[in-house]
């Protein structure tokens, strides 16, 4: 596709967005939105992109990517109205960033593997964060060291943020040497959870459960797994298996769950797992 053909649909989308936000002829709902009110939709659309990928539905992926692109255009339009930046500045910023972070493609640097590129990418990001920290007065309470975790977004899903926090800390050497160390930490945290449960301290139980989940997220990181993807897979498997159990209850008990005891339900669950494996 030529640059002209690629540009025309974008221009059309920008025109649509401008019309939607027009004070006189626009959409009342679109005109009332702010960065804060649109942000949840942006997050939702990103999840729907991930869901389409997970399902292998490329038609849905096309549509969801369009919805996500519209979110970018929406934010850029609001920024343009405030005189801060416009869509062109967004595009220019990411183009500059990609060229800067790929000197082996757009410059003379040499990268021999994906692992080397990942390491180089993280180092460039670290340097950029350090520069940003120096430019921002009072960006941390106790100097440059506190900036290591400063820009990990709070709005990320908790498991994803836990993995990112662990990865960022690992970048300065604060990490377990291998997955075995993290696995041992999981056992340690489970022991502390058991102690809190024995004490009956609800606040301590919640804190220890958080530590267990944080350790599991970092175990995923050491194993090269995305914790959110792992949990989405577990959710999908549970939903499918529970659907089989529900179908069995509807067939055998006319949908009366109360007629089944724990052992009966466990047997149906095991049968559903076996059927799913087949």
- Residue reference for tokens 């990942």: 118
pTM score, whole prediction: 0.68
26-35 confidence digits (pLDDT tens): 999 999 999 9
Instruction: Output the pLDDT for position 124.
Output: 83
Instruction: Output the pLDDT for position 139.
Output: 46
Residue 268 has pLDDT above 50, yes or no: yes
Sign of the alpha-carbon torsion through 11, 13, 14, 20: positive
Instruction: Output the pLDDT for position 123.
Output: 83
DSSP 8-class letter at 149: T
Rg (CA), the chain: 25
- Residue 262, CA atoms < 13 Å, CB-side half-sphere: 0
Identify the band that residue 136 occupies on the pLDDT scale cut at 50, 70 and 90.
Answer: low
DSSP 8-class letter at 25: T
Residue 275 has pLDDT above 70, yes or no: yes
223-260 confidence digits (pLDDT tens): 999 999 899 899 999 999 999 999 999 998 888 999 99
Q: How far is CA 183 from CA 191, 211, 248, in A?
A: 13, 13, 38
Count the helix, strand and coil residues of the chain and give each as a percent rounded to the nearest 5: 75, 0, 25
Instruction: Output the pLDDT for position 7.
Output: 62
Q: Coil, strand, or helix at residue 230?
A: helix
Contact 43, 72 (CB under 8 A): no
- Residue reference for tokens 């790929």: 102
């Amino acid at each position: 596709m030529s640059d002209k053909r690629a540009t025309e649909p974008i221009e059309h989308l920008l025109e649509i967005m401008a019309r939607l936000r027009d004070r006189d002829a626009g959409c009342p709902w679109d005109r009332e939105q702010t960065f804060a009110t649109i942000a949840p939709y942006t997050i939702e659309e990103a999840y729907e992109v991930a869901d389409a990928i997970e399902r292998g539905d490329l038609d849905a992926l096309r549509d969801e990517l369009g919805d996500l692109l519209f979110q970018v255009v929406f934010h850029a339009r609001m920024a343009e109205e405030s005189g801060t930046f416009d869509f062109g500045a967004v595009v220019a910023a990411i183009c500059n960033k990609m060229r800067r972070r790929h000197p082996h493609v757009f410059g003379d640097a040499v990268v021999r593997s994906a692992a080397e590129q990942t390491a180089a990418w993280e180092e460039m990001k670290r340097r950029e964060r350090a520069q940003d920290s120096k430019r921002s007065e009072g960006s941390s309470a106790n100097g440059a060291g506190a900036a290591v975790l400063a820009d990990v977004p709070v709005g990320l899903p908790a498991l994803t943020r836990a993995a990112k926090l662990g990865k960022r800390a690992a970048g300065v050497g604060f990490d377990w040497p291998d997955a075995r160390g993290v696995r041992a930490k999981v056992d340690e945290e489970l022991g502390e959870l058991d102690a809190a449960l024995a004490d009956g301290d609800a606040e301590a139980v919640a804190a220890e459960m958080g530590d267990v989940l944080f350790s599991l997220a970092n175990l995923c990181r050491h194993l090269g797994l995305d914790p959110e993807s792992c949990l989405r897979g577990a959710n999908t498997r549970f939903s499918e298996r529970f659907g089989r159990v529900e179908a069995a209850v509807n067939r055998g008990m006319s949908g009366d769950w109360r007629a089944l005891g724990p052992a009966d339900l466990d047997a149906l669950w095991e049968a559903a797992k076996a059927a799913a494996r087949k």
